[in-house]
Structure 1
Amino acid sequence: MADPTWRIRSDAKRQAILDAIPQKWRLTEPVPPPTEVRDVTGSYICKYLDAQEIEITESDAVDIAAKTTTGQWSAVKVTEAFCHRAALAHQLVSCLHEIFFDAAIEDAKKLDQYFAEHKAPIGPLHGLPVSLKDQFHVKGVETTMGYVGWINTFQGIPNDPRRGTEESELVRELRSLGAVLYCKTSVPATLMSGETVNNIIGYTWNPKNRLLSCGGSSGGEGALLALRGSPVGFGSDIGGSIRIPAGFNFLYGLRPSSGRIPYQGVANSMDGQNSLLSVLGPLAPTARSLTFVFKSVLSTEPWFHDPLVLELPWRDVMVDQTRELIQKSKDSTSLAFGIMYYDGFARIHPPIHRGMKLVEQTLKRLGHTVIPWTPPSHAKAHDLASEIYGMDGGVDLRHHFGLSGEEQAPQVIVDQDGVEMKASAIAQLNIAKREYQKEYMDYWNSTAQLTGTGRPVDGFICPIAPHAAVIPQQYRHVGYSSFVDVLDYPSVTIPVTHANKSVDVRPANAPAASLEPHVEWDYDADTYDGAPVAVQLVGRRLQEEKMLTLAEYIGEEIARELKK
């Protein structure tokens, strides 16, 4: 029997992505199965690169920009190195949706010409390659967002004049800063999944352990960055979609509060749903890379170009105040943190527990106060998020899957056959969310009585998910990440360690699956071995500068702890 039409279209698109890779960068031998080679990061991918390419691609965004903005490295040389490594990454784990290397190299040539003429860079990101999740519109480049029905259209609309001409606001700003855009990364169709799978490229695997998921929905970003096919990229987050891939791929990732990074002109699921806003944020191998690009974007004054962006420039004063608190780590005015190991839904796996304990021990060693975080029930946040995700009854995803007749992946967390919510019910839901936000705010304020600093906690640590990079189709609980979106708090993912089957064993007293209210205790030490382990640092609304400063500090101290 002939394949349905959508399969023919998806196969053709998948092949077109591969065909966009220059012949010189194509692998000539099959990639071994994950049962033979789990980890394709580090030395594995580096065997396909020359020494200069390795030097460039192993550098972080800050170091790269320091050389491209001073003429030490040409933008063309840097762009070619990352294009090569990104091409390899896609062939290893299927992480790209769009490849536009030729256009990127042409842009890089223009940057080099500008520098040669003016002896100065265009902006702070001059010559820095930046990857983008496949929600962003880039002139001359398609956006499918994982939907077969979007192929050769503008967001599913055929013959729309915006196809190939539209450019997202953040894309415009990155270009104005001198960034080089060269690829767009894979997402799960609908974006509503903790794993990355769609009918165009299939499944995007975790480069560190290819038996596991790279996370979602910014999963392609996470996988590409783990393989150092990009120095920094941008994703989106409405339930953990930046933080989960960052954590699953041993990266830093920032979920900012809404209104700081422009969303104007970005494709989205359930566009127009404003009860719980999706936000854009960066992912990178180092915390300082997040700070660098976040600060650079704010320097373009995006509040003049996106009506939903707040006029809130980068605040050095908040950075200075935070650093002053860090320096006072041995007195009573030091930093204080909450810590939460369990949200009342899903017990965390042994590698996550060990990672949490390592962070707690590090903070205490540094002289900071750590108190148990016992906030208002996260069940309320979980229920609020679930209701908001499903408020349209699945109308949006039914429409977009229906454009091609393609099948929906089982990992999608939105019910396609739900009931569309009435305006009065949405109003009541918004009231309930606001009341929960106030309840949580009051709890945070109350911790001033417990910290000994005279102030409430400066932030709190908790898991991103119950598990490390997850076994496919076993991501059953997004409550550790989605509550942050309900509160609209900034959160930074901090990589900690890796799962170790010899150390992270299932304890004899682990609760039986039947005793867990929602999530089975499905830990498998052998399968999870080597998977990245991370935590998230959550702060008060619009305190991104403070959280980024703390994340860099804590991350460096964790690394020191592990070297002991």
Structure 2
Amino acid sequence: MCSNGDTLTSWQTLATAKREAILGSIPEEWRLAKIPTVEEQRNVTGAYIRQFLSAKEVEITETDAMGIVEKTTSGAWRAVEVIQAFCHRASLSHQLVNCLHETFFDAALADAKELDAYFADHGEPKGPLHGLPVSLKDQFHIKGVETTMGYVGWIGTFQGQKGDSRSMTFESEMVRELRQLGAVLYCKTAVPHTLMCGETVNNIIEYTWNPHNRNLSCGGSSGGEGALIALGGSPGGFGTDIGGSIRIPAAFNGLFGLRPTSGRLPYGGVANSMDGQNSVLSVVGPLASSAGGVKLLTKSILSAEPWLHDPLVTEIPWRRDLEAQTKDLIASSQLSVGFLDHDGAVAPHPPVKRALGLLRDLIVQSGNKVFEWQPPPHLLQRVNELTYKTWLYDGGADVRKDFALSGEPWAVQILDIWQERPQADALSIAENNRALRQCRKEYLDYWNSTAASSGTAERHRPADVFVAPCAPFAAARPGRYDYIGYTSVVNGLDLPSVVVPITKVDRTDDVVDTSYQPVSELDKKIQSDYDPEIYDGAPVSLQIIGRRHQEEKLLAIAEWLEGELKKGSLAT
């Protein structure tokens, strides 16, 4: 602790210096003279941030990833002008909501110049992502760039190890592939220390806010990614997900995000908490401003054949046939979609309930089939219980070790999770794994049983996908993310899931439901957190969940829904 009011502790000195270095990396001409209070400007996206940009910068940064590569791979836009525009907008974004951990704009501009020279010499792009700016969650290692993962004790080290030769030289496998594909890397985004939090908070950048509504959280743990993309500071990037850490920020920020099946995309060389825990694996996945952007990033990484370099990646190239079959199902009104409106533990807030109704109506109006998704509630709760146990196999030793490096305090949001507990032994880990395997089998059996209720014309064909909330709320209020069961159950079952933004909270339409009777004290607490005035304007999203390794199917459905939602203006 401080010895007096004027003296900073060692960790405070380090954290302050790092925080100031991030701001200091922003060119002087991009600095904002004043950051408005939330009362003065709740929503800093759209028209607000545009005022600080040129017309050309707005055009570039408000084009989605698909549109950008159409321009850069044809030579219509130079990679340099694209990355300059995004570096500017990312700099503004950080000042408004604290979303960046690292910037390396000069290196990005040098890479972009090389790409422009390559195009001039060869008359063709380097790869499918030629000139596309891609942001990365601060778990990915990049040469010449620090990785702190939100820990003060990791500053100036390699994952907390001083003098490690890999410091500032090592690169994650996906980083290598993105460079090979022609992407331009330029920043790394904020995370909560430990990564195990639905809000983004640490002692370096402090708190990352939701740019659509700065009363609320941007989500976590890929929260910096979500906030940056929502502000147009990136067209797309990659996060990780072990309990909802891609889907939560995608949902809270009105983005598309994919949690793939474990082993579909490469995780090799990515920093992590609890590394080596293999019962429920963290996965890498993309977030973007459009469904097409998510698909582009996914397809491009698969085209680099990551299974040749990461032993945990399954050899499944992008399957055009599955994508085409899904589009045919939709066109022929044979898509079957289950709806999980309540998981039996915590009910969704009124805006999320309205979003479920809007999406249900859209699918019915398209001629496709909907029905109630009703797996046994005790099974969902059991999966979550077993999943949470996997995160605590080491009794919290890993994260306590990293906090001890600097002596920094823990964010209040994670204190309950990481209280010191006994470490699990081999027998109890094996028992948990067996129980989780049995739950996955029971869930598979339920899925197969939906052939009787899905209403499909084809006999004995179970549901294609099901829809569920991402969280009980449109976004969490700071310090009040008390239930992650809607996302963590998907990790426990290892199912792929894609987030689709549906609408926004409307204080007039989304009034408090005074007739609702909570099913538990936790449910009562979460319902009491809802205030239409505080939530007004926040994005409302849902997740679409499929069978394992069916990412192509999910993304085809997401693209279709994106188009239909735009037609009906539900997402605005």
TM-score tier by shorter-chain length is over 0.9
State how far apart, in whole Å, the 1-side matches of 2:179 and 2:336 are.
Answer: 39
Equivalent residues in 2 for 1:12-31 (5 A)?
Answer: 12-27=17-32, 29-31=33-35
Q: Give the SS at the match of 1:471.
A: coil
2:475 is the alignment partner of 1:472: no
In 1, the alpha carbon distance for the partners of 2:532 and 2:241 equals 29
Counterpart in 2 of 1:65? 69
1:110 equivalenced with 2:114 (yes/no): yes
Q: Which residue is equivalent to 2:464?
A: 458
- Correspondence for 1:442: 445
Q: Does 1:485 align with 2:491?
A: yes
Over residues 10-49 of structure 1, what are the superposed CA-to-partner deviations in whole Å (9 max), with x where a residue is unaligned? 000000001111111111x211100111000001000000
**How do 1:33-432 and structure 2 match up within 5 A?**
33-329=37-333, 334-376=334-376, 377-412=379-414, 414-432=417-435
Task: Give the CA deviation at 1:214.
Answer: 0.2
Q: State the distance in 1 between where 2:430 and 2:142 align.
A: 36
Equivalent residues of 2:190, 2:208 under 8 A apart? yes
What is the identity, as a one-letter code, of the residue corresponding to 1:240? G
- Are the equivalent residues in 1 in contact too, given 2:138–2:190 (CA < 8 A)? yes
CA gap of 1:407–1:457, structure 2 versus 1, over 3 A, is same
Conserved? CA contact 2:100–2:190, under 8 Å = yes
Q: 1:494 maps to what in 2?
A: 500
**Amino acid corresponding to residue 558 of structure 2 in structure 1:** A
For structure 1, which segment, 366-375 or 554-563, has the greater mean C-alpha deviation from structure 2 after superposition? 554-563
Tell me, in whole angstroms, the C-alpha distance in 2 between the residues paired with 1:416 and 1:30: 40
Amino acid of the structure 1 residue aligned with 2:358: L
Q: Cα 1:272–1:516, aligned 2, differ >3 Å: closer, same or farther? A: closer
Distance 2:565 2:350 in 1: 18
Measured after TM superposition, the shift of residue 266 of structure 1 is: 0.2
8 Å CA contact retained: 1:462, 1:537: yes
Aligned length: 559
Deviation at residue 390 of structure 1 after TM alignment? 1.4
**Amino acid across the alignment from 2:241:** D
Q: C-alpha deviations, 1:298-321, integer Å up to 9, x for none?
A: 001000000000011000010111
Structure 1: any 5+ residue segments left out of the alignment? none
Asked whether the 8 Å contact 2:118–2:126 carries over to 1, the reply is yes
Give the counterpart letter for 2:402 in structure 1: H
Q: Is the 8 A contact 1:514 1:520 kept in 2?
A: no
Q: State how far apart, in whole Å, the 2-side matches of 1:153 and 1:299 are.
A: 33
Output the CA distance in 2 between the equivalents of 1:562 and 1:380: 38
> Given that residues 73 and 128 in structure 2 are in contact (C-alpha distance below 8 angstroms), is that contact kept between their aligned partners in structure 1?
yes
Per-residue deviation, 1:452: 2.6
The equivalent residue for 1:509 is: 515
C-alpha contact 1:397 1:416 (8 A) present in aligned 2: no
Query: For 1:91, what is the secondary structure of its paired residue?
Result: helix
SS of the residue corresponding to residue 404 of structure 1 reads coil
* Letter aligned with residue 400 of structure 2: R
Distance in 2 between residues matched to 1:561 and 1:46, nearest whole Å: 26
Mark the CA change 1:536 to 1:468 in structure 2 (over 3 Å): closer, same or farther: same
| Secondary structure class of the residue paired with 1:434 | helix
Q: CA RMSD, aligned part only?
A: 1.2
Alpha-carbon distance in 1 for matches of 2:238, 2:139 = 10
SS class of match (2:498): strand
Offset of residue 424 of structure 1: 0.5
Cα pair 1:134 1:145 within 8 Å, conserved: yes
Distance (Å, rounded) in 1 between the aligned partners of 2:568 and 2:76: 35
Distance 1:458 1:558 in 2: 20
The AA in structure 1 aligned to 2:468 is C
| 1:559 CA drift (Å) | 2.5
Q: Which residue of 2 aligns with 1:540?
A: 547
Instruction: Quote the Cα distance in structure 1 between the aligned partners of 2:384 and 2:297.
Output: 31
Give the AA of the match of 2:513: P
Helix, strand or coil: the match of 2:317? coil
For residues 88-133 of structure 1, what are the alpha-carbon distances to aligned partners after superposition, in whole Å with 9 as ceiling and x for unaligned?
A: 0000000000000000000000000111111111101000000000
Q: Does the CA contact (< 8 Å) of 1:398 and 1:416 recur in 2?
A: no
Q: Does the 8 Å contact 1:477/1:519 carry over to 2?
A: no
After TM superposition, give the deviation of residue 555 of structure 1 in Å: 2.2
For residue 503 of structure 1, give the secondary structure of its aligned residue in structure 2. coil
Identity of aligned residues (%): 56
Query: What amino acid sits opposite 1:316 in the alignment?
Result: R
- Maintained 8 Å contact 2:134/2:186: yes
Shift of 1:64: 0.3
Aligned partner letter, 1:152: G
In structure 2, how many angstroms separate the alpha carbons of the residues matched to 1:321 and 1:172?
32
Residue of 557, 560, 564 corresponding to 2:564:
557
Q: Which amino acid aligns with 1:502?
A: T
The structure-2 alpha-carbon separation of the partners of 1:151 and 1:515, relative to structure 1 and needing over 3 Å to count, comes to: closer
Which amino acid counterpart does residue 431 of structure 1 have in structure 2? R
Distance 1:318 1:386, change over 3 A: same
Distance 2:201 2:558 in 1: 30
In structure 2, how many angstroms separate the alpha carbons of the residues matched to 1:491 and 1:515? 29
* CA deviation profile, 1:470-497 (whole Å, cap 9, x unmatched): 1101100000000100111100000000
Seen in structure 2, the aligned counterparts of structure 1 residues 518 and 281 have a Cα distance that, compared at 3 Å, is farther
Measure the CA separation in 2 of the matches of 1:539 and 1:507.
31
Deviation at 1:518, TM superposition (A): 7.6
For residues 189-217 of structure 1, what are the alpha-carbon distances to aligned partners after superposition, in whole Å with 9 as ceiling and x for unaligned? 00000000000000000000011100000
3-state SS in 2 of match to 1:520: helix
Letter in 1 for 2:17: A
What secondary structure, in the 3-state scheme, does the structure 1 residue paired with 2:568 have? helix
